[in-house]
Structure 1
Amino acid sequence: MRKPSAGRVARLAACVTAAGLVTVGMAAVPAAADSDQLWIVSPWELVLPKAVDGGQAPVSTVALGLYHDNANYRVTDGKLTVDVSGLTGVAEVTWPENCAPAGTTAVCSFPEVPLNGETPVELKVRAAAGAETGAGGQITYTGQAETSAGGALTAYESQTTVRVASGPDLVMTQVAPVTGVAPGSTVPVPVSVVNNGNEPANGVDVTMYVTRGLDIGAVAPQCTSTPLGEGAIKALTKVDCAFADVVEPGGSFALPSALQAKVASYALAERIDIGARAGGGAEELDQGNNGTVASIGVTNTADFAIRGARLTAEAGATVQAPVTFRNRGPAWVANLGSGDPVGSVDVTIPRGATATTVPDACEPRTADGGWWENEVRTGAPRYLCQLPIWVAEKQTVTFPFELRIDTVITGAKGAITLKPPYGTAFPFDPNPANHQAKLVLNPAV
């Protein structure tokens, strides 16, 4: 069994960037501490550039860590044992100060084992002189620690597969997030790339996905822009650039002019996903370090509102019962990175009525909000309707229910509640009072 891989992934349109995958080994926990677990953090794979022309190969970093996951216990005296005997003739290792080497193994110390996946141990690894392309081996890891619950924690063994290869390796410099930006301002976005490979990159292809609250202009003559999405309003603009620059090993690349992002009046949580790859379709040593996300948080608000309906009908009649959401702005709201809806609308059907037509975006629920077990979607007492993953300023989304009046009950009310995707509130919305409404059938005169 393994705990899911830990890795930062930027998701936007075609997903231009992904961070390195890591292995996390599950702990074998003795009975005295069976409510906590110890984990090893290590990369699945390491690709080392081959040494060229008798010189030394570039250095790569292997980031390692230990952590546990129960905050009720203190875990100390962590020891991560790293065995590099499998790299003989393949790679050379330089140990950090927090590791005590003895031959081809070293014990790395963690006086206090944290609760997260920090990686304070960094090995410096380079391909051995004479190691040919295709040569490979493994680094293996074991971990132990003491717990305040009594006894010891022992992690399952973990491995990193190492291989020697040859080629370019463009590494994108990570962009720090920016917050507190005012609408109408301009934000500089640094774009720089270093070739950590052992061969030149013959050209650099840059792709950017820009959310609609930002305008980066024409960028350069080598770039083309394509709006993405359906309808008149496009949530994204894709910018493709092909530069003829040759980037030698150890060399760097930057755009011809500094990238500037103009912030629109309707901007809120904006981002530019930036990826760079070697031109000509060249295979890179590591394709997991080619991208970054420039996150730009704008000081703005969006007023989400929900509206119900008041309907009159006789027994046996079917009436349209629209439930309407509106973003009153001034900002648009988008979850393009996560792909989550911007919110959901919880609709309770009034007593004496049956939902005979249900919008596709609405899932049936029981009266208390549980899963609806029936295969038929109509006739449920309650529905949870998902909004899109983005809504423009002043945009309206309507959920067109149809209700059959089975029994006329004067003033029968169904509750309508707007809910955020996480937590209990929309942090950008200053007016939560209009997040609730009623669906009223045959109101009293």
Structure 2
Amino acid sequence: MPIPSNCKSTNAITGRTFLCVPDEQTAPGSHRTLPLKFRTKDMALFDRVDYSAQPYSEQALAEARPGRASTPGTGPELNLTPAAAPSDELQPYRSFTVKTVNQADYRLTASTVSGAAGDTVPVTVTVHNAGPAWVASLSAGEPAATVDIDIPIGTSVASAPDNCWSQSETRYHCNTPTCLTESGKPAAHTFPFTLHIHEAIPNATARAALSNDAYEPPVRTFDPDLTNNTAALTVNPSTS
């Protein structure tokens, strides 16, 4: 569906913004509607639509313009049409959620590293979203995923990411940003740690696990495979 020629669109990682300027004049007390239609894309899951309307002025238009490049539409103009007085109280701003039947396959991966006693080694735990749906907590503002990371025996945390918190000496709780998407493409978020090895214990392994119930809606309601939502963080893997 082409964008109307009296609208401009702006793309962002979480979606698109349209700024439209119909040129019809309306009398005070009259009512008009805009014949808007939305079509969900392949990456839709539980998306949000916000819209607002205000009287035209050069100042209002300048304030509404995004601070990044926009693309003019080429389709037929979007025009107001007469409407009956609504039964509900009029609001200049509305927001609603579009829930789509779709899936997003989360996966968790973690490092395998080697080192001697006294060494400090970098390790990572990464949350992957293999799609096809994107995940963005636009309404609640919650993390797209939360991860509990256990620390391998014989090591301690030398440094941790800002979005991770110590629950004990051997466990960290980490939050991704509110979005885990790249315009519907597979996306990932990595938590980088450094571990200090106090004792070189062969095959020292700890578990990292996604919380499949923390998100709203819970991860288990849209992730078709929960078996890959855990990973092993291993220091000095056994060679046998």
The verdict on a shared fold, with TM-score over 0.5 as the criterion, is yes
Q: Does residue 238 in structure 1 map to residue 238 in structure 2?
A: no
Task: List runs of 5+ in structure 2 lacking aligned partners.
Answer: 61-88
Structure 2 counterpart of 1:401, one-letter code: F
User: Do the aligned partners of residues 390 and 272 (structure 1) sit closer, same or farther apart at CA in structure 2, a change above 3 Å counting?
Assistant: same
Q: Which residue of 1 aligns with 2:46?
A: 269
Structure 2 counterpart of 1:273, one-letter code: D
Aligned equivalents of 2:22, 2:218: Cα separation in 1: 47
SS at match of 2:201: coil
Aligned equivalents of 2:161, 2:46: Cα separation in 1: 29
Structure 1 counterpart of 2:136, one-letter code: A
Q: Cα offset for 1:332? A: 0.8
Q: Cα offset for 1:405? A: 0.5
Q: Does residue 313 in structure 1 map to residue 115 in structure 2?
A: yes
| 239-248 or 323-332: bigger deviation | 239-248
Aligned equivalents of 2:2, 2:159: Cα separation in 1: 46
SS at match of 1:426: helix
Q: Which residue of 1 aligns with 2:7?
A: 223
Q: Does residue 248 in structure 1 map to residue 27 in structure 2?
A: yes
Aligned equivalents of 1:253, 1:288: Cα separation in 2: 12
| Residues 287-366 of structure 1 mapped to structure 2, 5 A cutoff | 289-366=91-168
User: Do the aligned partners of residues 305 and 240 (structure 1) sit closer, same or farther apart at CA in structure 2, a change above 3 Å counting?
Assistant: same
Q: Which residue of 1 aligns with 2:190?
A: 398
Aligned equivalents of 1:246, 1:355: Cα separation in 2: 65
SS at match of 2:97: strand
C-alpha offsets along residues 263-284 of structure 1, whole Å, 9 cap, x if unaligned?
A: 22222112220111222379xx
Q: Cα offset for 1:261? A: 2.1
State the identity as a percent.
30
Aligned equivalents of 2:233, 2:130: Cα separation in 1: 21
Aligned equivalents of 1:361, 1:418: Cα separation in 2: 15
Q: Does residue 407 in structure 1 map to residue 199 in structure 2?
A: yes
User: Do the aligned partners of residues 363 and 440 (structure 1) sit closer, same or farther apart at CA in structure 2, a change above 3 Å counting?
Assistant: same
TM superposition score normalised by structure 2: 0.77
More relative contact order, 1 or 2 (CA 8 Å, 6+ apart): 2
Aligned equivalents of 2:237, 2:129: Cα separation in 1: 28
Q: 1:430 aligned to 201, 224, 227, which one?
A: 224
Structure 1 counterpart of 2:19, one-letter code: D
> As a proportion of its length, which structure holds more strand?
1
Looking at CA atoms only, which structure, 1 or 2, has the larger radius of gyration? 1
C-alpha offsets along residues 36-78 of structure 1, whole Å, 9 cap, x if unaligned?
A: xxxxxxxxxxxxxxxxxxxxxxxxxxxxxxxxxxxxxxxxxxx
SS at match of 1:433: helix
Q: Cα offset for 1:294? A: 4.0
C-alpha offsets along residues 157-178 of structure 1, whole Å, 9 cap, x if unaligned?
A: xxxxxxxxxxxxxxxxxxxxxx
Q: Cα offset for 1:223? A: 1.6
Aligned equivalents of 2:53, 2:237: Cα separation in 1: 61
Q: Cα offset for 1:422? A: 4.5
Q: 1:385 aligned to 149, 174, 188, which one?
A: 174
Q: Cα offset for 1:425? A: 4.3
| Residues 15-34 of structure 1 mapped to structure 2, 5 A cutoff | none
SS at match of 2:54: strand
Q: Which residue of 2 aligns with 1:231?
A: none
Structure 1 counterpart of 2:47, one-letter code: E
User: Do the aligned partners of residues 422 and 244 (structure 1) sit closer, same or farther apart at CA in structure 2, a change above 3 Å counting?
Assistant: closer
User: Do the aligned partners of residues 389 and 307 (structure 1) sit closer, same or farther apart at CA in structure 2, a change above 3 Å counting?
Assistant: same
Q: Cα offset for 1:329? A: 1.0
Q: Which residue of 1 aligns with 2:73?
A: none
Task: List runs of 5+ in structure 1 lacking aligned partners.
Answer: 1-215, 229-233, 367-379
Structure 2 counterpart of 1:227, one-letter code: N
Q: Cα offset for 1:317? A: 1.1
| Residues 106-145 of structure 1 mapped to structure 2, 5 A cutoff | none
Structure 1 counterpart of 2:236, one-letter code: N
Q: Cα offset for 1:423? A: 7.5
Counting matched residue pairs gives 205
Q: Cα offset for 1:389? A: 0.9
Q: Which residue of 2 aligns with 1:444?
A: 238
